[in-house]
Chain A
Amino acid sequence: MELLSGAEMVVRFLRDEGVKYIYGYPGGALLHIYDALFKENEVTHILVRHEQSATHMADGYARATGKAGVVLVTSGPGATNAITGIATAYMDSIPMVVLSGQVGSNMIGSDAFQEVDMVGISRPIVKHSFMIKHPSEIPEVLKKAFYLAESGRPGPVVVDIPKDMTNPAEKFEYVYPKKVKLRSYNPAMRGHSGQIRKAAEMMLAAKRPILYAGGGVIMGNGSAQLTELAKMLNLPVTNTLMGLGSFPGSDRQFLGMLGMHGSYTANLAMHHSDVILAVGARFDDRVINGAKRFCPNAKIIHVDIDPASISKMIKADVPIVGPVDSVLTEMVAILKEIGEKPAAEAQANWWKQIEEWRSSQGSLFPYDKGDGSIIKPQTVIETLYEVTRGDAYITSDVGQHQMFAAQYYLYDKPNRWINSGGLGTMGFGLPAAMGVKLNFPDVDVACVTGEGSIQMNIQELSTCLQYDLPVKIVTLNNQALGMVRQWQDMQYSSRYSHSYMESIPDFVKLAEAYGHVGMRITRLADLKPMMEEAFALKDRLVFLDIQVDTSEHVYPMQIRDGSMRDMWLSKTERT
C-alpha cells in the first residue's frame, strides 16, 4: 500500500488506467496536479492553446480508438472553455473524461476568483459528473468516470476536483481499483433473443429491405458483424453522417449517406422500403426530414444500446435494446440456423429499382465538373481520396466542406471519418486531427476544413509545432461561410447577411509564421500534384489553401418537412 497525495493519485491513476496522453491547460486550481505531472514519465501532457482544443483532441483520439480521451482544465474559464467540446462529445456519444480544477472546497459558493459551478454548468451535456469530496475517494471516482464514459452508450464524464483535494501535504492510501460497480447503472449486455429472432424473420420476409446504420455501429465495434449481415442478405446499406465507415464505402451495396444531404438513391430507397433495419442510429432530424412523412410503408426494427433513443422520433415496430455487436452476431447466427434466403425475385426487383435510381443520376453524388477553369470543392475531396488511396483518417469542421468530405471520400473502414455530427462544432477539425495524429503517428491524417471553420481554432498550429504533429490541413477556401450562404441563396433571396469575410488572412504566410509549410492552390492542374507533394512531406504540417468555386452548393438537399424523397438535386432541379 502506498501513500499518495490527491494530486499524485490523479496522475498515478491515469498511468494505471493505461492513459498515454492527456490534453490540457494549467491554472491556479490545478497547480498541485501539474506539479505531480512534472514528476511523471509515462503519462504525457499535451499543452494546447485553448481548452476547447483539449476536448476536441481527446475526442479525436476517442473516435479513432473507442477509448476515453482525457482532458485536464482549470477552474472558471478553463472549465467553461471546455464546455463546447464536452457538448460535442455528448451529442455524438463519445467517451471522454474531463478533470476540471475547482476552487478550494471551503471557498465554493463564495464567488471566489476563477470559480464557476462546473458540475451545474455541464449537467445537461454530460453522461454523469462527480465532485471530489475527499482525497481518498479519487481512485474510485476516477475509475467510475472511465467506466461510465466507455460503457453502455458512451459519453463525457466530468470530475470536478477542488484544489484542497490535491494538497501535496496530505497523503492517503492508494490502490488502483480494478473494477467498480454502480448499483443503479446496468447497461444492456445483450439484446432480447425473441426480438432478434422476430427481426431476422422480418428481414427474410421483406421485399424492399434497407439497412440504415449510424455512429453506434462504430462506437459499438459492430462494423464486421454489420457487414457480414448485409452480405448474407444482400441488403442495400446506407449510413448516417456518423456511421460512415461502418460498412465499406466503396462496396456495391453501399448507397451513400442518407438524409438532408444524402444521396438520391439512399433517400429514395429509404422512402420506398418495406422494412428498415436501423442499427446504432437515432432517426436524427437531419436524417428523417419531416417525421410525419417518413417512409410511409416501412416497418422499423431499431437496434440501439440506449432505450431512450428508440421510438423517440419514429416509433419502432421491433425495438431491440442491446450492444450492436452482440445483437448483430446473434441475428447472423439465427439467420444461419433458419437457413433460408430472402425470396430471389423480390430481391432482384428491389436491386433493379435501386440500380435504376443510381444510374439515373450517373453516380451517387453527381456534380457539374465545369470547364476546369475553376476548382470545384467536390473535386478536391475526390483528389484527396486518390492521393491518400482512401486510407487516411479524415477529420472535418462544419459546413459545406464537411458534407463534401462525407459524400466524396469513400470510407472503407470504421473510425476513419471523424466529424462533429450532432452539435456541428466549427473548430473541431484541426484539434481532432491532432489527437488522431499524436496517437497514430504513422498514418495520414487530413483535416478537411473551410476558411471560416479553421479560424475557430487556428491557434493550435502552435501546438502542432511543439509536439510535432504533421497533419495536413485541406482548406476549401470559397471566401464565404458556404453553408450559411447556401441557405441564404435558397431561402433568403441571396441576401448574404454576415456570411462572408472581407479580411481572410494569407493562410500560407500564417502557416509559415507558425513554423509550418503553406501552399496555395488556385488552378485545377496544380491540385493533384501539389496535394501529392503535401502528403509526401511526411514530417511537416502542410496547410493547403485551396481556392474553390465560391458559388457551389451541396446537393442533394432535402426540402424541409417533406418526406425522405423530397430533394433539390441542383439549383434548378427537384424531385
Chain B
Amino acid sequence: MRHIISLLLENEPGALSRVVGLFSQRNYNIESLTVAPTEDPTLSRLTLTTIGHDETIEQITKNLNKLIEVVKLVNLSEGAHIERELLLIKVKATGAQRAEIKRTTDIFRGQIVDVTSSVYTIQLAGTSEKLDNFIQAIGSTSVLEVVRSGVTGISRGDKALSI
C-alpha cells in the first residue's frame, strides 16, 4: 500500500541526505519526495510517499525516527488527511484541440497559465490520482512536458504536526 509520511526535520546541512540515504541503504523505495522550510526557520517539512507492506512501513517509520535530525514524524495515511500534488503540463494545442483541451482543463478545475499559438501550459493541483486522470484525459499524443511536484499533505481536523 502507498503511504504518505511527513516529517519535521532539523534544518541542517546533511539532514536530507540522511533521510534519502536511509532509503537506499535499507532497500526501501521512495515514490516522491518534497522538502521546504517551515514557519520555524530551524525546521524543514519533508513529505515522502513510499509503497510497502505494513511491516516494511513500520520499519521505515522506526528507522526514520531513529535519525537524530528527525524531530517528529507522522504517517498521514493512517488517518484522515488532505493530499495535494501540483502538476505543470505543456501540451500541443492547435486547431480544434485548443477548445477541447480548455474544456478538459475546466472540468478538472485546472488553469491555463501560459499560452502560445501552438502550446498551452496548464497548472493543476490535486491528489496524484486526479493528476494521473487528467494526463490520461489529455491524451499522450499532445503532451510535450510533464512536471509534478511530488505529494505533500496535512492531516484533517485538530491534529497538527508541530513541536
**Residues of chain A whose beta carbon lies under 8 Å from any beta carbon of chain B:** 119-120, 123-124, 127-129, 131, 148, 182-185, 306-308, 311-312, 315
Q: Which residues in window 59-75 of B have CB below 8 A to A? A: 59, 62-63, 65-66, 68-72
- Tell whether, in the assembled complex, residue B70 and residue A184 are in contact, meaning their CB atoms are under 8 Å apart: yes
Query: CA A129 – CA B66 in complex, angstroms?
Result: 13
Residue pairs across A and B with Cβ atoms less than 8 A apart, 13 shown, are A120-B17, A123-B18, A127-B68, A128-B68, A129-B14, A131-B13, A182-B68, A183-B163, A184-B69, A184-B71, A308-B63, A308-B65, A315-B55
Say yes or no: B62 contacts A308, CB within 8 Å: yes
A119: B residues at CB distance < 8 A: 14
Is residue B25 within 8 Å, beta carbon to beta carbon, of the partner chain?
Answer: yes
Q: Whole-angstrom distance between the alpha carbons of A321 and B53 in the complex?
A: 22
Residue among B13, B14, B17, B163 having the largest count of chain A Cβ atoms under 10 Å: B14
Known: A120-B17, A123-B17. A306 touches B70 (CB 8 A): no
Residues of B within 8 A of A148 (CB): 68
Contacts A120-B17, A124-B21 given: A184-B68 contact, CB under 8 Å? Answer: yes
Q: With both chains docked as a complex, state the minimum distance between the C-beta of B52 and any C-beta of chain A, in angstroms.
A: 14
With both chains docked as a complex, state the minimum distance between the C-beta of B135 and any C-beta of chain A, in angstroms.
36
Instruction: Please indicate the chain B residues that have their CB under 8 angstroms from the CB of A120 in the complex.
Output: 17
Bitwise, B7-20 to A at CB < 8 A (1) or not (0) is 00010011001100
Complex interface residues of chain B between 8 and 66 (CB less than 8 A to chain A): 10, 13-14, 17-18, 21, 25, 55, 58-59, 62-63, 65-66
Q: What separation, in Å, do the CA atoms of A282 and B145 have in the docked complex?
A: 48
Of all A-B residue pairs in the complex, the 4 with the closest CB atoms, nearest first, are: A308-B62, A184-B71, A128-B68, A124-B25
Contacts A123-B18, A124-B21 given; does A311 touch B163 at CB 8 Å: no
> What distance in Å separates the Cβ of A144 from its nearest Cβ neighbour in chain B?
9
Shortest distance from the beta carbon of A131 to any chain B beta carbon, whole Å: 8
Answer whether A307 and B17 are a contact pair too, CB < 8 Å, given A148-B68, A184-B69.
no
Closest residue on chain A to residue B68 by CB atoms: A128
Cα-based distance from A123 to B13 in the complex (angstroms): 13
A123 and B68 in contact (CB under 8 A), knowing A183-B163, A311-B58?
Answer: no
Residues of B within 8 A of A307 (CB): 62, 65-66
| Inter-subunit contact B63/A183 (CB<8 Å) | no
Given the complex, which residues of A lie within 8 Å of B68, measured CB to CB? 127-128, 148, 182, 184-185
Q: Report the Cα distance A307→B60, complex, angstroms.
A: 11
Most chain-A CB neighbours within 10 Å: which of B17, B18, B59, B66? B66
- Chain A: CB-nearest residue to B163: A183
Residues in B with CB closer than 8 Å to A311 are 55, 58
Q: Which of A128, A131, A308 has the most CB of B within 10 A?
A: A308
Which residues of A sit under 8 angstroms from B63, Cβ to Cβ? 308
B58 touches A123 (CB 8 A): no
A120 to B17: give the CA distance in the assembly, Å.
Answer: 8
Q: How many angstroms between the C-alpha atoms of A120 and B70 in the bound complex?
A: 18
Least CB distance, A294 to chain B, in whole angstroms: 15
User: Given contacts A119-B14, A123-B18, A184-B10, are A308 and B71 in contact (CB under 8 A)?
Assistant: no
Bound state CA distance, A148 and B66, in angstroms?
Answer: 12
